[in-house]
Amino acid sequence: MIFKPADLRARSRLPQLIDVVRRVGWPRIDDLKGRFVFVLSGTQAWKKRYAELTTQASLCFADFDVDDDKSFDELAPTLPANRVFLNMHVFSADFADWSASVPRLTEAGYIVRAYVLDGKAIWGKALAAGVNMLSTDEVRGKTWARVGAEPFEPI
């Protein structure tokens, strides 16, 4: 029931996760129905170590923090090859930067999560920019915290 790094890696013989995604793409949503994808977040050092020690038995991916005030060209040299989930704390003040970076990051094969989207304006900006995973603490009673007809897109 868990989609693991080994499952992604099995889609190609390439050793680095981002190379697998670039070669064969992500599984289709229909192929992931009924499965969970766990992503380790938190301290950068812990995530780096977990990603480096990932084995066939590892149950989750590790994300990588990126700055919202950097251009894609500034971010690109720092992006990891063995982590495919990016974590970005976005601010409206840096919208010009991250709204231009997000589409290029997703085109490069990464899944982008934006967090602290705790207002209608920043939620709408993240949705319009193409952020893959929108995170907020403001779901209950907030009509704007939606990605479709419901708070969560059914899969």
Answer yes or no: is 94 within a domain: yes
- Rounded mean pLDDT for each run of 10 residues along the chain, 155 residues in total: 95 93 94 94 92 91 97 96 96 96 98 95 95 90 79 60
Answer yes or no: is 152 within a domain: no
Q: Angle at Cα 31 formed by Cα 27 and Cα 37, nearest 5°? A: 70
Instruction: Check residue 154 and give its pLDDT.
Output: 59
Answer yes or no: is 155 within a domain: no
The rounded distance, in Å, linking the Cα atoms of 101 and 58 is 30
Instruction: Check residue 151 and give its pLDDT.
Output: 62
Query: CATH number for the domain including 95?
Result: 3.20.20.190
Answer yes or no: is 87 within a domain: yes
Instruction: Check residue 122 and give its pLDDT.
Output: 96
Question: Do 122 and 90 touch, CB atoms closer than 8 A?
Answer: yes
Identify the domain containing residue 25 by its residue range. Answer: 5-134
Instruction: Check residue 144 and give its pLDDT.
Output: 87
Answer yes or no: is 139 within a domain: no
The pTM of the full predicted model, rounded to 2 decimals, is 0.91
Answer yes or no: is 145 within a domain: no
Answer yes or no: is 140 within a domain: no
Instruction: Check residue 150 and give its pLDDT.
Output: 67
Residue with tokens 């010009």, as numbered in its chain: 96
Residue with tokens 């989750």, as numbered in its chain: 60
Number of domains in the chain: 1
> By CB neighbour count within 10 A (0-12 exposed, 13-18 middle, 19+ buried), where does 13 fall?
exposed
Answer yes or no: is 151 within a domain: no
**Half-sphere exposure (CA, 13 Å, Cβ side) for 53?**
6
